[in-house]
Structure 1
């Protein structure tokens, strides 16, 4: 890892040629006290700043924000270019302040419009900027001294920001070529010097400034790689507030800053004595602050969700239509620091508009020892306090409060994941995974060097292969819950397969085909599904899909991996007639299931109706039994006509024989009732095979046996 990024050294080159004295044509009103001005007084005429003044003010704002957020290790070298270059400060830390730069700029003064423009050029400043980047800073020298054995880790990279008024795109390309040639020359000189370092990377940011109301002669261009040492980008900006906004965006991009707007800040408004009727009124103000992006790290992790859905109620909105800002709401300030929440980070802040009255009141309020809590604006629910503003040692910090789980508490349970409480993690499999991927120290030897890759690289490659497809939850996988798939799953992650490994994988696939033929059940999870889960065919389809996904992630390893995938595709593809047969079988099973459900429902209804009928018949039988005990008739006398048969005499079918119709029950009842109305005919009682026998006593008297034709035989 190279030390010292491009943002370590920034060289500002501001054009001081006569054409920079031209007016920006943005008028500034000086007489704003219109109501307090007496009669007869002539109002002051508006003024406009020059291009030089706009460039100096905006570049100073760039430096102020940088020094506020990064007081150390972020250095600026300010250079003014006209007929020659003027270096206003050095890379030393004590020269890094806006006070030093403003004093030096005051000594330089505004550009002279009467000076010969042919003698002035911004090229002098660009050449001086490249030479300045080759100089070693105090931090680079300290790092090189500390890392004597690995001094090559100390990189020399930097950025050049040039504020000028270019003539055309051709002029811009000429400036880029000049910087490129100067870098090559300086690198040759620095190669044999101990006080200089060759430039390894340089970023050139050209900002073309032109007056308002005119058309630009230079077109914008995004970052372009001119060579391996130089990248360039061009911004064409109108002077005035547009230039200030552009440099504000650039400082955020160059130093990884973010914007936060604090809303609903209560502030007392004290107006002039002529308007005492409106004095001491209160209003709410907004103040924009810049700070390091890590203060909103949790927000930017799910930035698209917050921008589109706004699920958390956090407002990330464009500011002035050019950049984004995170909106946080002012809370009632706390005076006692003991009551404040613990924080997980503190970052310096810098107001965007430091001279505005709301920013001044907020900074004075915080510098007096007060602290302010900031909450996320939410559409519903309780408020969430996520940040805090407080000062330490005369500097204001934005503290990040942990609004979820405290870092001082016990570590969270493994069953508490980001998606809620999950209890079916593959904990045992993960332990086995860690054992298979343990790192051990390997001594350097010719064998390890001859293998091609260092041991660390081989370990990373193995870890990458093992994690290409590795479900974390048991309910999200099928094949990793099957013992039959273990041989294939352990072998397919290897970098190369032997012929024996290929046969083992194919044998595993054939075993799965045999399981499907036998219709064996699979360990399919039913979490979140109703009923018994998917049917058997669906279970095997899920299993084959997951197995194919696992093998496809490793198919680029070797030819044998592809043969395993071909085997799976061939085994899971069935003939059309078998598929049609299975479809018919599934349809028949569905029909049988529906019919069985209907039969069960009808039998339940009929059994309930039969039980109700039996209950009524039992009650009637008890009443008739009471009447029969009172009226005792002789056995020869017929029963009364209105005598009803008792329940015991009705032959009810058994439940095992199935349901009995109402007609059958009624016929049985009528038959029993009719049998009690008269004495049965004697011939019918002694009949054989439903035929009555005539002349029963004739055989006994005469000893003759009569046949059906009436003839007697002895």
Structure 2
């Protein structure tokens, strides 16, 4: 039930009864040209705004800040109440603009002071506000459609902000009881309707507006629970600048906003173009932009100042002289939309126009000691201005650390070029809502899906992947051959690793479509061995195990034999041929020759002790003799010499000397 918060729906109910036409008694000077005014010209008298004008201006400023920071998922429904209620807009996204609201308010006009007060009441607008909260927004409908089986889990919460001139605390309690009864009735109607949703929580913020110079008849009261479905709080505020400050504080509390003041902004003077002065501009944004300050407790180091009797805090950041262009990249940990507090002031207008022209501004923390720390950056994207949070652990003005000294140690073979191509393929660009096809997925959702697919398996180091280096592996140039020679793995092992990695890559995408699964099945079938080959390998392993056991048993039996018995065994083995040593049944090439302890004995006992080298040479000789048939020349040689042309004398009756010449 926490899918939608109270901030998703906000209903403004502004009192339009005759008593709202009363003056706020805050004078506004219209004649500011006191020095250049000609003599005899009567100065203009100061004017004062009505309670209605103050309420409309402050509520519009509330909506402007809300739309700047949350342009999509925070909605406002504006209702005017007099003898009946007037709904100025709906929950549809196309109606969520200050231009739409200002046009509707201009059509309503100011309150009529001659209208009968008995026929007008704020209750008409409060009842309509509860009914409006039960209506389903587009975003709620999308969530309910996506969760048809558990549609009741989609919550419905909202907030009602009532700007009125109450009579007393008793009048306030009466308004709260009326809202409570209306919520109960509307929930009963919503239970049997598919177009309405029951209210799980409603926050009532009642702002009592009274003229300056008068005593308030309504007491301030913090938030309290009226019922499990309704909470209420009361603010008694004087009209004018005090009301504007109060709503500025409320919008920060309701939508989790924070304030940042940019100081020392250089601007040229209008009257003197050759001179410049430093100005300050206050910006509102989501409080997560100051999350690092809150975690570390360095608010005092970031230049926190308190305003308006301790009700509002702002963090001061200094304009950094070395500006940056949008082409330069910085390590950002977050980006948040901003809204100027005083949007019509000249410093705010100059700053926003400067940023919208494609320039970026670095912001540093004002410190008395130590080097400066650049913690934020202002830049625009798609016509909207964002406050970027930079990684302040290392100054961006210092030389960046070498990539070989990263968190993974001195790794030098990162896939830097491939990662650059990866970023280009997954770049996001602003898309207007008018060009988007509602029947298709949102561009941001398609981008997230593509990024998720591309990062399911993406090795970051060259040495950890083979399939992403197939062009280098499969080529036959000298450089590739040299790299393959230097590789710690042989060529066959590289292909085995490649097949393993290919199977891992395809497995991560096998659940996407049936074609991916068929590719995986094909790879598994290619890697699996034929049944006859597996059976042949099993038989070979069993025979090797059996021969190894025979070799061990034979070596134990012959350890206690004497040298004489060993000599006899050697002679016997030379005279009696072994079946396994015949050319017709050669041993496998990968099989070790069977040797027993007789092979290590010296051939002649009379020579006495034999060195280890002679024993090893004899062992190698016997082992080699069992691998092939003995060369007939070596077997019949005398003193390591073999007589050539043995039968030539018998055939021709000639004596053949060693030099090959014949004599009779």
Offset of residue 240 of structure 1: 0.3
Offset of residue 153 of structure 1: 2.1
Q: Residue 214 of structure 1 aligns with which residue? A: 214
Q: How does 1:178-577 map to 2 (within 5 A)?
A: 178-271=178-271, 280-303=274-297, 306=298, 310=300, 313-321=301-309, 322-332=311-321, 334-404=323-393, 412=407
Offset of residue 279 of structure 1: 5.3
Contact 2:30 2:45 in 1 (8 A): yes
Contact 1:9 1:75 in 2 (8 A): yes
Using the alignment, how far apart are the partners of 1:189 and 1:46 within structure 2?
Answer: 52
Offset of residue 412 of structure 1: 5.0
CA deviations on 1:497-540 (whole Å, 9 max, x unpaired) are xxxxxxxxxxxxxxxxxxxxxxxxxxxxxxxxxxxxxxxxxxxx
Using the alignment, how far apart are the partners of 1:333 and 1:399 within structure 2?
Answer: 16
Contact 1:333 1:371 in 2 (8 A): no
Using the alignment, how far apart are the partners of 2:25 and 2:8 within structure 1?
Answer: 36
CA deviations on 1:666-706 (whole Å, 9 max, x unpaired) are xxxxxxxxxxxxxxxxxxxxxxxxxxxxxxxxxxxxxxxxx
Contact 1:160 1:202 in 2 (8 A): yes
User: SS in structure 2 opposite 1:155?
Assistant: coil
Contact 1:130 1:183 in 2 (8 A): yes
- The 1:13–1:381 alpha-carbon spacing in structure 2 relative to 1, beyond 3 Å, is same
CA deviations on 1:23-82 (whole Å, 9 max, x unpaired) are 000000011111221111111110000000000000000000000000001000000000
Contact 1:13 1:79 in 2 (8 A): yes
Contact 2:326 2:379 in 1 (8 A): no
Q: Residue 567 of structure 1 aligns with which residue? A: none
User: SS in structure 2 opposite 1:339?
Assistant: coil
CA deviations on 1:590-632 (whole Å, 9 max, x unpaired) are xxxxxxxxxxxxxxxxxxxxxxxxxxxxxxxxxxxxxxxxxxx
Q: How does 1:638-653 map to 2 (within 5 A)?
A: none
Using the alignment, how far apart are the partners of 1:314 and 1:130 within structure 2?
Answer: 43
Contact 2:18 2:113 in 1 (8 A): yes
Structure 1 unaligned residues grouped into runs of 5+: 272-277, 415-714
- The 1:333–1:389 alpha-carbon spacing in structure 2 relative to 1, beyond 3 Å, is farther
Contact 1:259 1:291 in 2 (8 A): yes
Contact 1:333 1:370 in 2 (8 A): no
Q: Tell me the number of residue pairs that the alignment of Structure 1 and Structure 2 aligns.
A: 402
- The 1:375–1:335 alpha-carbon spacing in structure 2 relative to 1, beyond 3 Å, is closer
Q: Residue 523 of structure 1 aligns with which residue? A: none
Using the alignment, how far apart are the partners of 1:96 and 1:333 within structure 2?
Answer: 38
- With normalisation by structure 1, the TM-score equals 0.55
Q: Residue 152 of structure 2 aligns with which residue? A: 152
Contact 2:324 2:362 in 1 (8 A): no
Offset of residue 302 of structure 1: 3.6
Using the alignment, how far apart are the partners of 1:205 and 1:43 within structure 2?
Answer: 42
Offset of residue 403 of structure 1: 1.2
Using the alignment, how far apart are the partners of 2:265 and 2:78 within structure 1?
Answer: 37
Q: How does 1:573-652 map to 2 (within 5 A)?
A: none
Q: Residue 36 of structure 1 aligns with which residue? A: 36
Contact 1:17 1:117 in 2 (8 A): yes
Contact 1:334 1:340 in 2 (8 A): no
Q: Residue 489 of structure 1 aligns with which residue? A: none
Using the alignment, how far apart are the partners of 2:126 and 2:58 within structure 1?
Answer: 19
User: SS in structure 2 opposite 1:371?
Assistant: strand
Contact 2:326 2:358 in 1 (8 A): no
Structure 1 segments (4+ residues) deviating >4 Å: 405-414
Larger Rg: 1
User: SS in structure 2 opposite 1:162?
Assistant: strand
Offset of residue 282 of structure 1: 1.2
User: SS in structure 2 opposite 1:226?
Assistant: strand
Contact 1:7 1:158 in 2 (8 A): yes
Structure 2 unaligned residues grouped into runs of 5+: 395-399, 410-664
Offset of residue 320 of structure 1: 3.2
Q: Residue 60 of structure 1 aligns with which residue? A: 60
